[in-house]
Amino acid sequence: MIASSARTDVAPAQRTETELALAGLWRVVVLNDPVNLMSYVVLVFRKVFGFGEVTARRHMLEVHEQGRSVVWSGLREKAEAYVFTLQQWHLTAILEPDETR
Amino acid sequence: MKRVEVKLGLPVVAPLLDVIKRTVDDLNGHLAVPQSLQDLDEELGAAWKGELLDGQNKDCRRFLALFDSEFFVSGMVVFDDDNAESVLRACAAIRLRLRQRDLEGLPDDVLEGAGVDVAKLDEAGQKSYMCYVFLATLQELIIQHLDAAILEG
């Protein structure tokens, strides 16, 4: 897994700005694609997040019917790790700031 | 270790392998799903993409290894705890690329609903669509029989 320590050094002022932007909570969002099988997406959700069948299926249907589903929310570093893993499984996953909390 | 042995019809599958191999070649250096993560600096973004590409290449090699000389004698492929995840991911990557490259003219809802009128596709399109369906069938087989192993692995 890619560690955040791989980031390049930046000037203090710039770093503060970046840290502020990356602080807080982030959402992992999975977007719909017309290719991956529903059963495949359910399996990936179960594998990556440890969801039960019912929860995984609910998220899959949300992706399928509404085009997106928020599958996880939390700190940036862990959210990045989840996005990376979902991308390894060829799902379209993005990060967005969680402004609901 | 659970094993699933699948006997495939050689006359049907062998002609599809050329399209599949060409698609794997086409994926070399390209992610099946372009990465879309904002706020990554250039270095981290490159490392991120590089690691995804490495994984994709390994999965595709693992998948192609199923169709070795033995396959062309027996028509048999074997899935087990060891290769199931790689094969599943490789099938997804190849299907995504086939969709982008050869089946882009088909509307999403037609493709999702399996309502494709194969007779209306040209010969190359028909072959690509057959590959697309064949790979989905392999995925379904693995998910049906090896899901427990994948979830525990």
> Touching check for A83 and chain B: CB below 8 Å?
yes
CB–CB contact A90 B151 (8 Å) = no
Mutation target vs B (from A17, A19, A35; most B CBs, 10 A cutoff) = A35
A16 falls within a domain: no
**Backbone phi, then psi, for A33, in 5-degree steps?**
-135, 155
Cβ–Cβ < 8 Å for B7, A64: no
Which residues, other chains included, contact A3 with Cβ-Cβ below 8 Å and sequence gap of 6+?
Answer: none
> Touching check for A4 and chain B: CB below 8 Å?
yes
CB pairs A-B closer than 8 Å: 78
> Touching check for A17 and chain B: CB below 8 Å?
no
CATH of the domain at A84: 3.30.1390.10
A52 falls within a domain: yes
Asked whether residue A3 carries a pLDDT value surpassing 80, the answer given is no
| ipTM computed for the complex | 0.95
Q: Which residue of A has its CA nearest to B153?
A: A47
* Domains in chain B, number: 1
Q: Which residue of B has its CA nearest to A76?
A: B39
> Touching check for A11 and chain B: CB below 8 Å?
no
CB–CB contact B44 A39 (8 Å) = no
Could you tell me what percent of chain B has a pLDDT over 70? 99
> Touching check for A47 and chain B: CB below 8 Å?
yes
H/E stretch holding A69 reads strand A68-75
* Domains in chain A, number: 1
Range of the domain at A34: 25-97
Residue type (1 letter), A95: L
A66: tokens are 């509404």
Confidence of residue B100 (pLDDT cuts 50, 70, 90): very high
A13 falls within a domain: no
Burial of residue B4 (number of CB atoms within 10 Å: 0-12, 13-18, 19+): middle
Range of the domain at B127: 3-152
Q: Which residue of A has its CA nearest to B41?
A: A7
pTM over 0.80: yes
Alpha-carbon distance A44 to A81, whole Å? 14
A10 falls within a domain: no
What pLDDT score was predicted for residue B42? 87
> Touching check for A13 and chain B: CB below 8 Å?
no
Q: Show the DSSP H helices in B1-153 as ranges.
A: 10-27, 42-64, 71-74, 84-101, 108-112, 123-152
Which residues from B are below 8 Å from A95, CB to CB? 37-39
Asked whether residue B32 carries a pLDDT value surpassing 80, the answer given is yes
Confidence of residue A2 (pLDDT cuts 50, 70, 90): very low
CB–CB contact A91 B35 (8 Å) = no
Alpha-carbon distance B72 to A52, whole Å? 40
A4 falls within a domain: no
Å from A76 to nearest chain B CA?
A: 11
What pLDDT score was predicted for residue A100? 77
What pLDDT score was predicted for residue B37? 72
Per-residue model confidence as pLDDT tens digits over B48-95 = 999 999 999 999 999 999 999 999 999 999 999 999 999 999 999 999
Cβ–Cβ < 8 Å for B90, B62: yes
A1 falls within a domain: no
Per-residue model confidence as pLDDT tens digits over A31-47 = 999 999 999 999 999 99
